[in-house]
Structure 1
Amino acid sequence: MPHRQASSERALILALIGRDASIATALLAEAGIASVICRDLEELRARMAEGAGLAILTEEAVRTADLQPVSGWVASQPPWSDLPFILLTGRGGVERNPAAARLSKVLGNVTFLERPFHPTTLVSVVETALRGRRRQYEARARLEELHTREAELRDLNATLESRVAREIDERAVAEEALRQSQKMEAVGQLTGGVAHDFNNLLTIIRSSVDFLRRPNLPEARRARYMDAVSDTVDRAAKLTNQLLAFARRQALKPETFEVGACLSAVADMLDTVTGARIRVVLKVPEACCFIRCDRSQFETALVNMAVNARDAMDGEGTLTLKLTGDRPMPAIRGHAGSRSAFIAVSLHDTGTGIDAGDLARIFEPFFTTKEVGKGTGLGLSQVFGFAKQSGGDVEVASTLGEGTNFTLYLPQVDAPAVERQAGAPSAADSDGAGRRVLVVEDNVEVGRFATQILEDLGYATEWSTNAEAALERLGTAGAGFDAVFSDVVMPGMGGVALAEELRRRLPNLPVVLASGYSHVLAEEGSHGFELLHKPYSADQLSRVLCRVIANRPDIPVGITG
């Protein structure tokens, strides 16, 4: 028998008087039960620590002894263990022996055996105690097995967590790589489309300029090439505006207007745009609906959607424009909707519809299902960008063979108060008439060209290459200048900051800003200053300067208190 099993099955005997210990040992030996006789309580505690099946004590051995060592061991047993004690007493159990109650509290699992007893009784009690002890060992074995499995599960869980964490990291890396790939693909598509369209435009300009440089060019051909350059510049400007609209980076000029009247004017224009075989139907409510946005961009968005519908109908069908007001905006393409009041302008066509696979891409720049030469793929991207930048969205629903419905949502506002119209410049103010303009431009070529244009228009100009130099030149009284014409994007202080500083220092000095693109203007607007979009014409620049100078308050320019 292994040592651990022999120790765990043995009986420990503590009987200090007479032959009780030797008799008990002999009786147990005949029953095949090993036993060990202990000399005192200290040895009993030590033997219990080594391992035991039960302990047999005589009342005389423990009646007056210090039981602290034994009680301490009993209290410190592991959860599975409850060592059985057999107490040999001459006065019965707790019913007739008050001292037995104290021993029950100290020892815990105690069986009282009153002397004299039959040898068979002792063996029977001991075997019963051992069976109970064996069940405790079985419980210990199950607990150890459970602890082992728990440890294995913890190790497995740690391994799985490590594997999952590693797979999550690998997935994150893969997703990031995919996003970067998609970004590069989108950038490639965008830059490719821009390069293609701009190279076409530059080809026209370059060829026209080459012909204009030829001597003795007939006047009719010269005019034709000049018109070609002018038209191409307008197309290039429109292209950049469409790109900025998609990116929601265009500088908008919001105004409040009634949508129904605007739709009526657009519907009349669409009869020409869509052709005679497409019937344009307009449905507007009797109640007025007002919105505040860039009216020109709003009308452009409607025209872009109408042209898309015309092409989908192959030039024949019905285009229905419908306006409804006081509507909440639904959730669109995963973006949250809004319970605020919106107007909804829907354009429904009876065309071929859009394939489900293309619906998710129709607002991407340069994506088009049209044949080469029949569309740039920027019309719907302008609609999308304008709607988003104006606080709304655009929804599309389509069924192949049944047509498509675009719905443009924009925030609805209250009717505007009547505003006083600013005075317009008179015919006499059509040129510069010697008025002094300070040009602020960091780009040398643009600055030199702007001053040349203004001088040709009759203005007297000076040129500062940055905002700080302009402030120093103007001083505290304006240095006799009638207006400031400044670029927006410059190193150091930008054009908007310069204009705001001049409004504080010299509130009567008008400022005109010019920009091809500025995130400040796109996000915050023009801050109340006149704004020219590049590329601008000489006539546009002259008209704006004439207007702001004509509307300048006729009071001395200087520092206000």
Structure 2
Amino acid sequence: MTNPSFYHLLDEQNQKTLEDIIRNVAIGVFTSTGETFFHSLVKCLAQTLNMDFAFVGEVKDPAQQHVETIAVYRDGQPAGNFEYDLPYTPCETVFGKKLCCYPKGVQELFPRDKGLVRFGIESYVGAPLFDSQGQALGLLVVMRRRPLRAPELVTNVLKIFAARAATELERRRKEASLEAHARAQTALFNLSADLSTTLSEKEICRRAVHGLQETLGYAHLGLFLLDEETGDRVMQASRGWPDAPKDWRIPPGHGVSERAVLTGEPAYTPDVRQASAYVPGLGSGAEFDVPLKVDDEVMGVLMVESKEPNAFTENDFALLTAAANVIALALKRAREVQAVQKAEARYHSLFDGVPVGLYRTTPDGQILEANQSLVEMLAYPDRKTLLRANPIAWYVNPEDRLHWQQLMAQQKVVRNFETQLRRQDGEIIWVRDTARAVCNEGGEIHYYEGSLEDITAHKRLEAQYLQAQKMEAVGRLTAGIAHDFNNLLTVINSYAFMIRRQLPATNPLHEMAEQILLSGQRAADLVGQLLAFSRKQTANPVTLNPNDIILQMDGLLRRVLGEDVRLATHLASDLWPVKADPNQLEQVIVNLAVNARDAMPGGGRLILETSNLPMDEAHLARHLDASPGDYVVLSVTDTGTGMSPEVMEHIFEPFFTTKEVGQGSGLGLSTVYGIVQQNGGFLSVYSEVGQGSTFKIYLPRAQETTTHPLPTPQPRTDLPTGEETILLVEDDDMVRELIQSVLEPLGYTVLLAAGKEEALNVARRHPAPIHLLLTDVVMPDGSGTALAEILHAQRPDLKILFISGYSWTILEQQKRQLPPFAFLQKPFAPLQLARKVREVLDG
């Protein structure tokens, strides 16, 4: 409201002086400071000078020509602050210049000032505010809806209080600057403390952005790190961008922040909308970008945006640059720590992942370091327990340790030193040690470091390989001898059979012939065992269940074992089938049973077990001859005297025996070995002196699931006869004559030849049919197989029967190229020969 007495007093010049007015205003603001002062000032000025409007305005950035009011009094009461731009307003003539007074018609003078029109302002008085250094701070303004009647008085009052307002505004700014500086220092201190611990890059960025935004209140903050491959700036953390994608990527050539990345210097953009690299939607105010840089390496950029253009001050620039340096150092440290951790991880991965034991020990036996492979190799529960152990006590042979130390003292390095160590669980293993001595400056050995490789499996396989080579060599020798013996036994046994057949039982010569025949048969059995060992024995494999063999042999085994040995069987109900010769499998079981019986002279137990076993890597590593797949296991365990390691090295060798002279041929286990090998299997033996022995036979699982019935003995009959023509080819004269003497009395026509070429000539000179080719396989002038191919091509109806002192395996590789044939292994009896010939001719 207007004070009617005011102008009355002015008209009476002496009734109220300028001093009185100043005194009244001064009293109203005397005790006030800060915001209260400004609000009291505009109120007192408006009431005392009878003005409709009074306000104090501040221009924070003179270059922006923008006013923000601090205190406003309008129409008799305080009003809210507002902002406006200086251009085309009466304030433009005041700010930073001089006091201006427009007693009336101010709207006509400034027609583009919409505020004057909206509030109906007629008169205006404004005073500029300067700091102590003469820098423009703002302005003090009073306005009235009617013309001024005493403009000189108003301008004098305003001029006086403008100085007081300027002083207070300067003090206010200094306080604000000090507070901002304190906040900035606090923010930097807190940021440094928060990032001083070891953190991930992502966590550093998150904490930095959160701390800066919470403490300093910037509108939008984002931390971006460079993608080394693409050059993209990838956002790691942000505040104030709720719609920003989780992994916001700004590619090269986009966004104003790229300038800071390329130059390595802070970049200020007063209005991002005016920038050429502006990306729509990425802000609308000012942007300050500070590179995250250490030692000329730019790792990323700190992006800070305001809501309005031209919003950043020098203090902001200094603060954000310092903050970016703190963040960059933290990121650099994090990357260095990460690099160290990765290197350590690679080292530990290599150290613990390498499949050999690594160690570091002192000369007196203290273990300084060991990897996980060594822990497992030596069967310790953990690394801590191993480090407390004394490696000197590991050596089975202490002399090996002394020898190792002597080599190390002389050479400072030991390579491929093989020795035996005793694991914590008592198991003895072979190792290969390679190590070096690390010396101090005085040349004394400080510690050893090296590697231990477990070569136990290698040693085992090496022994198996050497044994297999030895057995193979003996087998080849045995097979050659057996072939020659078979020819001789064929003649001896056949003639003995024929003599005995032609003599009456009362004739003394009949008994002599019987003894010759029995001796010859025993000799043939020995040769058969030699052939079994050398895997040259004739076999007729069929798909069968080993349980059936064991059950069928129950009575026989009990008779063989005698009353003092108890027989027990544990047979798997779901046992897989195998493909093997049933007669050979019976021979294996009998031989093992006899061997077990002889190892239990005072009686004991014999246990037969069967089981299924899928062959895994652990089993394969222990058996040189094993192949991956499923196996059936036949175990024969006795409670006998057991065997020493020295005996076990030779048990499968022909004629090796620990029995007294005359109590064994030494061919029992060698026969087992050969039969198992011939049937595609392998075996293992475990034995301890005084604890008994276990033999395990591993036979491959048969693909065919249908088992064949076991053969039953055939009743003896007379020699079958015939009238066909047979071409007999045999290089051994005695065998040839024997076969002729057997077949011709049976009605056959026998054409004789001593070799391949003679046989071809005989066949050429014989135009009549030849029904059967009966030929030896191995002959001096050519093989029987080549002869069979030629003659069968000439005579397609020709039947073929091979005979040999070797087994049928001699023909196995040529089976596909040969015409259909049969095989009879020497030695054979006349009855066997006659039956086989008749069988082939009738087939």
Is the contact made by 2:626 and 2:682 (CA closer than 8 Å) also made in structure 1? no
Structure 1 pair 315/535, CA: closer, same or farther in 2 (3 Å)? farther
Once the two structures are TM-superposed, the CA of residue 252 in structure 1 deviates from its matched residue by 2.9
For residue 345 of structure 1, what is the aligned residue in structure 2?
Answer: 634
Alignment partner of 2:749 out of 460, 472, 482? 460
Structure 1 pair 504/324, CA: closer, same or farther in 2 (3 Å)? farther
Corresponding letter in the other structure for 2:589: L
For residue 534 of structure 1, what is the aligned residue in structure 2?
Answer: 826
Select the structure of larger CA radius of gyration: 2
Once the two structures are TM-superposed, the CA of residue 331 in structure 1 deviates from its matched residue by 4.5
> How far apart, in 2, do the equivalents of 1:419 and 1:477 lie?
43
Is the contact made by 1:275 and 1:315 (CA closer than 8 Å) also made in structure 2? no
1:75-114 → structure 2 map (5 Å cutoff): none
Corresponding letter in the other structure for 2:749: A
Q: Which structure features the higher share of helix residues?
A: 1
Is the contact made by 2:808 and 2:823 (CA closer than 8 Å) also made in structure 1? no
The alignment status of 1:296 with 2:583, answered yes or no, reads yes
Q: Which structure features the higher share of strand residues?
A: 2
Is the contact made by 1:477 and 1:506 (CA closer than 8 Å) also made in structure 2? no
Structure 1 pair 506/371, CA: closer, same or farther in 2 (3 Å)? same
Structure 1 pair 444/311, CA: closer, same or farther in 2 (3 Å)? same
For residue 570 of structure 2, what is the aligned residue in structure 1?
Answer: 283
For residue 375 of structure 1, what is the aligned residue in structure 2?
Answer: 664
Corresponding letter in the other structure for 1:535: P
For residue 392 of structure 2, what is the aligned residue in structure 1?
Answer: none
Is the contact made by 2:751 and 2:762 (CA closer than 8 Å) also made in structure 1? no
Alignment partner of 1:335 out of 615, 621, 624? 624
> How far apart, in 2, do the equivalents of 1:376 and 1:521 lie?
27
Q: Deviations over 1:294-336 (max 9, x none)?
A: 2222221111111100111126222111111243283487625
Q: Deviations over 1:518-560 (max 9, x none)?
A: 6962764877632211111110001111111122xxxxxxxxx
For residue 265 of structure 1, what is the aligned residue in structure 2?
Answer: 552
Is the contact made by 2:643 and 2:689 (CA closer than 8 Å) also made in structure 1? yes
- After TM superposition, the structure 1 stretch with the greater mean CA deviation from structure 2, 232-241 or 334-343, is 334-343
Once the two structures are TM-superposed, the CA of residue 456 in structure 1 deviates from its matched residue by 2.4
SS in 1 for 2:584: helix
SS in 1 for 2:563: coil
Alignment partner of 2:517 out of 230, 239, 255? 230
Q: Deviations over 1:194-221 (max 9, x none)?
A: 99xx9xx99xx89x99xx99xx999364
> How far apart, in 1, do the equivalents of 2:678 and 2:667 lie?
16
Corresponding letter in the other structure for 1:378: L
**Percent identical across equivalent pairs?**
36
> How far apart, in 1, do the equivalents of 2:595 and 2:814 lie?
30
The alignment status of 1:312 with 2:599, answered yes or no, reads yes
Structure 1 pair 364/296, CA: closer, same or farther in 2 (3 Å)? same
Once the two structures are TM-superposed, the CA of residue 415 in structure 1 deviates from its matched residue by 2.9
> How far apart, in 2, do the equivalents of 1:393 and 1:378 lie?
18
Structure 1 pair 509/427, CA: closer, same or farther in 2 (3 Å)? farther
SS in 1 for 2:672: helix
> How far apart, in 2, do the equivalents of 1:218 and 1:519 lie?
37
The alignment status of 1:252 with 2:539, answered yes or no, reads yes
1:294-443 → structure 2 map (5 Å cutoff): 294-314=581-601, 316-328=603-615, 330-331=619-620, 335=624, 337-415=626-704, 430-443=719-732
SS in 2 for 1:248: coil
Once the two structures are TM-superposed, the CA of residue 341 in structure 1 deviates from its matched residue by 1.1
SS in 2 for 1:318: strand
Once the two structures are TM-superposed, the CA of residue 509 in structure 1 deviates from its matched residue by 2.4
SS in 2 for 1:413: coil
Structure 1 pair 491/230, CA: closer, same or farther in 2 (3 Å)? same
Q: TM-score, normalised by structure 2?
A: 0.38
> How far apart, in 1, do the equivalents of 2:736 and 2:689 lie?
54
For residue 241 of structure 1, what is the aligned residue in structure 2?
Answer: 528
Once the two structures are TM-superposed, the CA of residue 367 in structure 1 deviates from its matched residue by 0.7
Structure 1 pair 430/332, CA: closer, same or farther in 2 (3 Å)? farther
Is the contact made by 1:260 and 1:289 (CA closer than 8 Å) also made in structure 2? no
RMSD: 4.1
1:19-34 → structure 2 map (5 Å cutoff): none
Corresponding pairs, count:
353
Q: Deviations over 1:393-425 (max 9, x none)?
A: 11111122221110111111123568999xxx9
Corresponding letter in the other structure for 1:540: Q
> How far apart, in 2, do the equivalents of 1:478 and 1:217 lie?
43
> How far apart, in 2, do the equivalents of 1:280 and 1:347 lie?
11
For residue 483 of structure 1, what is the aligned residue in structure 2?
Answer: 772
SS in 1 for 2:701: strand
Q: TM-score, normalised by structure 1?
A: 0.55
Once the two structures are TM-superposed, the CA of residue 288 in structure 1 deviates from its matched residue by 4.5
For residue 85 of structure 1, what is the aligned residue in structure 2?
Answer: none
> How far apart, in 1, do the equivalents of 2:621 and 2:537 lie?
23
Is the contact made by 1:478 and 1:509 (CA closer than 8 Å) also made in structure 2? no
Compare relative contact order (CA 8 Å, sep 6+) and give the higher one, 1 or 2. 1
For residue 561 of structure 2, what is the aligned residue in structure 1?
Answer: 274
Is the contact made by 1:476 and 1:506 (CA closer than 8 Å) also made in structure 2? no
Is the contact made by 1:476 and 1:505 (CA closer than 8 Å) also made in structure 2? no
Corresponding letter in the other structure for 1:550: D
Corresponding letter in the other structure for 1:338: S
Once the two structures are TM-superposed, the CA of residue 439 in structure 1 deviates from its matched residue by 0.5
Once the two structures are TM-superposed, the CA of residue 384 in structure 1 deviates from its matched residue by 1.0
Structure 1 pair 220/309, CA: closer, same or farther in 2 (3 Å)? farther
| Structure 2, gaps ≥5 residues long | 1-410, 412-465
Corresponding letter in the other structure for 2:679: S
For residue 783 of structure 2, what is the aligned residue in structure 1?
Answer: 494
Is the contact made by 1:512 and 1:530 (CA closer than 8 Å) also made in structure 2? yes
Structure 1 pair 437/236, CA: closer, same or farther in 2 (3 Å)? same
Structure 1 pair 252/496, CA: closer, same or farther in 2 (3 Å)? farther
> How far apart, in 2, do the equivalents of 1:332 and 1:452 lie?
56
Is the contact made by 1:274 and 1:315 (CA closer than 8 Å) also made in structure 2? no
Is the contact made by 1:284 and 1:322 (CA closer than 8 Å) also made in structure 2? yes
> How far apart, in 1, do the equivalents of 2:767 and 2:520 lie?
36
> How far apart, in 1, do the equivalents of 2:523 and 2:555 lie?
27
Once the two structures are TM-superposed, the CA of residue 230 in structure 1 deviates from its matched residue by 1.2
> How far apart, in 1, do the equivalents of 2:657 and 2:622 lie?
20
> How far apart, in 2, do the equivalents of 1:314 and 1:500 lie?
56
Structure 1 pair 232/259, CA: closer, same or farther in 2 (3 Å)? same
Once the two structures are TM-superposed, the CA of residue 472 in structure 1 deviates from its matched residue by 4.7
SS in 2 for 1:377: coil
> How far apart, in 1, do the equivalents of 2:770 and 2:594 lie?
48
For residue 549 of structure 1, what is the aligned residue in structure 2?
Answer: 841
For residue 318 of structure 2, what is the aligned residue in structure 1?
Answer: none
Structure 1 pair 438/523, CA: closer, same or farther in 2 (3 Å)? closer
1:30-109 → structure 2 map (5 Å cutoff): none
Structure 1 pair 347/502, CA: closer, same or farther in 2 (3 Å)? farther
SS in 2 for 1:513: strand
Corresponding letter in the other structure for 2:822: E
For residue 133 of structure 1, what is the aligned residue in structure 2?
Answer: none
Once the two structures are TM-superposed, the CA of residue 481 in structure 1 deviates from its matched residue by 2.2
Once the two structures are TM-superposed, the CA of residue 339 in structure 1 deviates from its matched residue by 2.2
Corresponding letter in the other structure for 2:552: A
> How far apart, in 2, do the equivalents of 1:274 and 1:338 lie?
34
Structure 1 pair 272/183, CA: closer, same or farther in 2 (3 Å)? closer
